[in-house]
Amino acid sequence: DGRQVGAARLRISYLSAISVAPESSELTGSVNGTRVGWTRIQAPGAVKVVEFSVPEGVLKAGYNAVGFTVSQRHRVDCSLEATYELWTQIDPSRSGLVVAPATDLDLKSLAALEPDESGALPISVLLTEKPSLERLERMIGAVQAVALVGRLARPAVTFGPAMAGRTGINLLVGTAAELRGTDGLDEIGPINGPKLGLIAPRPNRGPVLVVTGPSGGDVRQAIETLAASSDSAGTPAGMRLANLTRGYPVTGGESLSLDTLGVATREFNGRLLRVGFEVRFPADFVPADYGKVMLHLAGGYAAGLEPSAQIVVDINGRNAASVPLPYTRGEVFEDSAIPLPLSLWRPGLNRVEIAAQLPTAADRACDTLAPGAKRARFLFLDRTRIEIPALARAVRNPDLAAVKAGAVPFVADGPRPRLVLPTPDRDSADAAAMLAARLAIAAKRVIDFEVSADERASSGG
């Protein structure tokens, strides 16, 4: 996600297996469906950095889709087993879009903030003194709102002094009286009601997001406004991928094409094709063998495959189905149904991997210069679809799986959930805020926690 739409480059830092043959292996980069460059894969001993120029006009304000594809061939072995020796690893901490620093950071571009080298977005909640539990509640609420509006996968929260540098955001939360005297506060204007604002960076301090108001109630209202300020701008491809960052949500009864899930049509001439996608099941989903998800494959395979050729489907790293490709003359299929047991799925995020294993008799000779060496072996069509049956749903309390997957039971109506800090120091506050942010991301809304230092004390029961 970005607001800088001028000249840009796509940087890729990668390392590859020594068995990858550079003369016939390549890595391709694309932005919003436009191919921006390719390179031969040849980095077996040290990380290699390549950059592709992004044509003017390809990047748009808001969300953009960046994609990488790799085609890898073995140096000396054409067996199916040898394909598992091939790998190319991209270093995310040193890869990405290289653009001029943004000069127009605003509330709608919080998702464009730069993460640290681990991929987490640092959030520093500014503190100069020990806050009351009520103010700590508001601070934790604001952290949740930032996590939601920034679509964060990994928030990293600390309480204390301001951060400097390019990564992350400083967060200042409190009433106007609590924030009085803060350097640069006058930049956001008068505080006559719920107020959100950004204080520009200083040499020793990064940008500061201010969440304030005359009273505690006004601050809470400002938090609600922040949580609802998510930007819906961007390219169609960028918005689609942004909506898939935590898996496509299903509740049961859906029929979804893989195009909807971010998978593209592929014509493939190698021995092992892998495609994958993610779906998110309800937090109270009950995994058991009372039904099956049906995968309806569309595509085809060429004549001349070995009898061992097959399609293998894994769910969350466990084998769910193996289907042979039996006809030596090849086959075109529009609706090859593969049942996938519901017992292998789980509440929350599920990763599905489809692998087509496509050996031929010619692979034994391993003549990479033969006329048929680059002939297409498999066609995978994005109109392949999955059908989700009706799902049994029940929840136990306590149930850590339900909490992790969807913040159940914290989204139910009833008494305010309690967040207990037996030792209310900075380390405990850091951990509590990160936990709350992750639960808010799962629940897709700010959770109104009551913060307490005593697990026996509660105003809500």
Any domain includes 58 = yes
pLDDT tens by residue, 337-359: 999 999 999 998 999 999 999 99
If asked whether residues 370 and 280 sit together in one domain, one would say yes
Q: What is the pLDDT confidence band of residue 202, given thresholds at 50, 70 and 90?
A: confident
Helices vs strands, H then E, count in the chain: 6, 25
If asked whether residues 68 and 176 sit together in one domain, one would say no
Structure tokens belonging to residue 79: 């067996």
If asked whether residues 380 and 406 sit together in one domain, one would say no
Q: What is the mean pLDDT of residues 425-432?
A: 90
Of 366, 387, 408, the domain-final residue: 387
Any domain includes 23 = yes
Q: Read out DSSP for 42-89?
A: --SSS-EEEEEEEPTTSS-SBB--EEEEEE--BSS--STGGGGG--EE
Structure tokens belonging to residue 367: 């003549």
Q: What is the maximum span of the chain, computed from C-alpha positions, in angstroms?
A: 79
Q: Do the bridges between strand 385-387 and strand 255-257 make them parallel or antiparallel, or are there none, so unpaired?
A: antiparallel
CATH number for position 269: 2.60.120.260
- CA-nearest of 165, 170, 167 to 127 is 170
pTM of the model: 0.81
Domain boundaries, position 41: 8-98
If asked whether residues 292 and 177 sit together in one domain, one would say no
pLDDT tops 70 at residue 163: yes
Structure tokens belonging to residue 15: 């390392």
- Count of domains observed in the chain: 3
Of 387, 408, 439, the domain-final residue: 387
Any domain includes 393 = no
pLDDT tops 80 at residue 6: no
Distance CA 176, CA 79 (A): 69
Q: What is the DSSP letter of 363?
A: G
Q: What is the mean pLDDT of residues 278-292?
A: 92
Q: What is the DSSP letter of 356?
A: E
pLDDT tens by residue, 70-126: 999 999 999 999 999 999 999 988 898 888 766 556 777 777 787 877 778 899 999
If asked whether residues 204 and 269 sit together in one domain, one would say no
Q: Are 113 and 119 in contact (CB under 8 A)?
A: no
CATH number for position 402: 3.30.379
If asked whether residues 286 and 366 sit together in one domain, one would say yes
If asked whether residues 228 and 310 sit together in one domain, one would say no
Any domain includes 227 = yes
Distance CA 360, CA 307 (A): 9
Of 51, 69, 98, the domain-final residue: 98
